[in-house]
Structure 1
Amino acid sequence: MIENPANYYTGLDVADRIISRNVLLFERRTRGALQQKIKGALQRKNLAGRMHHRYVLIRSLQTAGVISVDGKALHLKEGAALLMTPYQFHHYIDLAADELHWLFITFELEKGETQLGKLSHQVINPDTKTDLMWSEIANLWVDEHLDNRVELLPILDRLLTRIHSSSKFEPPLTEESLSTKSEWIVRIESLIFQSVREHWSLEEVARRAGLSERHLRNRFEAQMGISLRDHRSNYQLHLAISLMRNQEFSISDIAELSGFNSQSVFTHFIRRMSGQTPRELRARILSGEST
């Protein structure tokens, strides 16, 4: 029995309720498909292909994997999910097999940024109710009646709200729990991040790793499929764009925090990576345009 309200003008409301928009779904079925998009984008001035400027909800339906997000190693078990917020630096450290089935839901937010920001760097273990919502969203996306797709928008909002309020999370992996291969990558990546903060050369990174620079470069590229220099540049670009979203930082502040000794070198770097000046790129980011 539903009782009469004490006040007919004050009811349930959430000021920053999660409201999604511009939703896309796609799948990745192989290790190569996961990695190829980023590799191809690195060869072009294509920021949208190199990084996620949207929210990305990933679920592993088949094949577990270890993903590094902002330098934190997250184990995505079969059935588990992970939310990445815009411009988070991420890559795939290790996959249990070459064949996989990962579902990606990418979207923008109209409201709810504060709530979803709290889900960073945590693996989500869906419950029975969220399982049903995942299935509804996927089924509506492939429905032959395309007009029915619009129904998935409120379901995605419900899914994200339930994840935020009711899900069980797992923290990042510790180095002790990683495989030898993954542990080595995480350790080297930690040194790369520190090299940006401390303005170290790659030679210094290699010295601290106890290797020659040539050995480090060769081993890193063999395991990651990308050169050490490109990996660091990609991280610096993500970091710079993340800082550009904060209007309290000047361009010179961003250059310094992104590991550059001079603003002119930073400007050349941003031009090379994006085809735009730092001010042009920042203006596009702050206006909400796709980079």
Structure 2
Amino acid sequence: MATQLPSLARSLATPRNYFHGRTHAETCVPNNILIFRRATGADLRRATFELRPHHRFVLIFNLKTAGTVRIDRDEVELHPGEGILILPYQFHVFPRTQREDILWLIVTFECDRPAPLEQFRGKAFQFDASIRHRLTASLQLYTARQQESSNQILALEIASVLAQLQPHLHDSKATPMLADKRSTQLLNDIETYLRQSHPTSVNMQDLARRLHISESRLRARFRTAFGSSLGAYLRNYRLHVAMEHIRDTRHNFTEIASSLGFPDSATFTRFIRRQTGYTPSEFRRRLIH
């Protein structure tokens, strides 16, 4: 590549206008970047079933072993060589992988200009050799001694990865893996019950009775299937439902509290503050920023 530089330089023409060059649309330059990996299906499931909602982007690259991502109420099956970007505050869990031995690379970051990344919503992507090359460079920068210059280059590398991925986005809905149909059905049954109930009045006994199973057996089945407690999953789900209502600015917090089954807006405010550290109004500003 370097040997081509002189010939490419000689081929350049004189600009017709010295004030109009090539421009690009608004872009997201990642900041506060964290890169890590998940090496077992159990770690992947446990971490996300118990994770609180957050304002960070989660960029996932599947390097080994197919698995399913459940985002909001849709499922996307990721095979090696595929990935997905989860947007801030999206409710997501990883209910299953084909095998326990996995290698998923995860890049999380913040972004002051998130609008360009909306096109990733609900889409999976494939990543080719050129993107793998950029990911390799990004990992080398991330694992090197931290310096301001390397941090800046790392941010630009991840921004370049995002730009390269855009032409590769595609709709991808999962087909449940045969071996895990029971766990998929369990999660579907639980979410059906949750959608029909007030988030604050979810009753474990009622849920178990609806599923024709004892409460202890339900808790055990959930932990066996997903490596996490059912209670943690329910708390996570409740908060995401509340967030969907908070995002809708057509309704005030008294109306939202009533629709979600809270006795009053003060109780609703305490619930949101306890879960997020913010009042509903502060949290709404973060959600619609």
Shorter-chain TM range is 0.7 to 0.9
**CA distance in 2 between partners of 1:183 and 1:32 (Å):** 16
Mapping of residues 21-40 of structure 1, within 5 Å: 21-37=31-47
**CA distance in 2 between partners of 1:122 and 1:129 (Å):** 20
Query: Which residue number corresponds to residue 66 of structure 1?
Result: 68
Per-residue deviation at 1:149?
3.8
CA-to-partner distance for each residue in 1:228-284, whole Å, 9 max, x for gaps? 45423311212323543554442234435556464344334335434654345446x
Per-residue deviation at 1:152?
1.6
Q: Would you say the 8 A contact 1:59–1:79 is kept in 2?
A: yes
Q: 1:252/1:5 Cα in 2 relative to 1: closer, same or farther (>3 Å)?
A: farther
CA-to-partner distance for each residue in 1:65-96, whole Å, 9 max, x for gaps? 21211121111212321111111111110122
Q: Would you say the 8 A contact 2:183–2:225 is kept in 1?
A: no
- Which secondary structure state, in structure 1, belongs to the residue aligned with residue 99 of structure 2? coil
**CA distance in 2 between partners of 1:128 and 1:178 (Å):** 32
- Which secondary structure state, in structure 1, belongs to the residue aligned with residue 20 of structure 2? coil
Q: Does 1:126 align with 2:127?
A: yes
Counterpart amino acid of 1:30?
T
Q: Does 1:11 align with 2:21?
A: yes
Counterpart amino acid of 2:185?
W
Query: Which residue number corresponds to residue 46 of structure 1?
Result: none
Query: Which residue number corresponds to residue 173 of structure 1?
Result: 174
Q: What RMSD in Å do the two structures reach over aligned CA positions?
A: 3.4
Query: Which residue number corresponds to residue 112 of structure 2?
Result: 110
Match for 2:89 among 55, 66, 87?
87
Q: Would you say the 8 A contact 2:96–2:180 is kept in 1?
A: no
Per-residue deviation at 1:191?
0.4
Query: Which residue number corresponds to residue 239 of structure 1?
Result: 241
Unmatched segments (≥5 aa) in structure 1? 43-48
Per-residue deviation at 1:50?
2.1
- Which secondary structure state, in structure 2, belongs to the residue aligned with residue 156 of structure 1? helix
Query: Which residue number corresponds to residue 266 of structure 1?
Result: 268
Q: 1:132/1:282 Cα in 2 relative to 1: closer, same or farther (>3 Å)?
A: same
Mapping of residues 117-196 of structure 1, within 5 Å: 117-144=118-145, 146=147, 147-164=149-166, 166-174=167-175, 179-196=180-197
TM-score (norm 2): 0.77
- Which secondary structure state, in structure 2, belongs to the residue aligned with residue 104 of structure 1? strand
Counterpart amino acid of 1:267?
T
**CA distance in 1 between partners of 2:87 and 2:223 (Å):** 27
Q: 1:250/1:4 Cα in 2 relative to 1: closer, same or farther (>3 Å)?
A: farther
Name which of structure 1's ranges 54-63 and 138-147 shifts more when overlaid on structure 2.
138-147
Counterpart amino acid of 1:27?
R
CA-to-partner distance for each residue in 1:119-151, whole Å, 9 max, x for gaps? 122221112221211111112111246453431
Which protein shows a greater Rg?
2
Instruction: Say how many residue pairs are matched.
Output: 276
Counterpart amino acid of 2:95?
I
TM-score (norm 1): 0.77
Q: Does 1:77 align with 2:79?
A: yes
Q: Would you say the 8 A contact 1:62–1:100 is kept in 2?
A: yes
Q: Would you say the 8 A contact 1:127–1:167 is kept in 2?
A: no
Q: Would you say the 8 A contact 1:25–1:105 is kept in 2?
A: yes
**CA distance in 1 between partners of 2:259 and 2:127 (Å):** 37
- Which secondary structure state, in structure 1, belongs to the residue aligned with residue 69 of structure 2? strand
Unmatched segments (≥5 aa) in structure 2? 1-10
Q: Would you say the 8 A contact 2:77–2:172 is kept in 1?
A: no
Q: 1:258/1:126 Cα in 2 relative to 1: closer, same or farther (>3 Å)?
A: farther
Q: 1:102/1:257 Cα in 2 relative to 1: closer, same or farther (>3 Å)?
A: farther
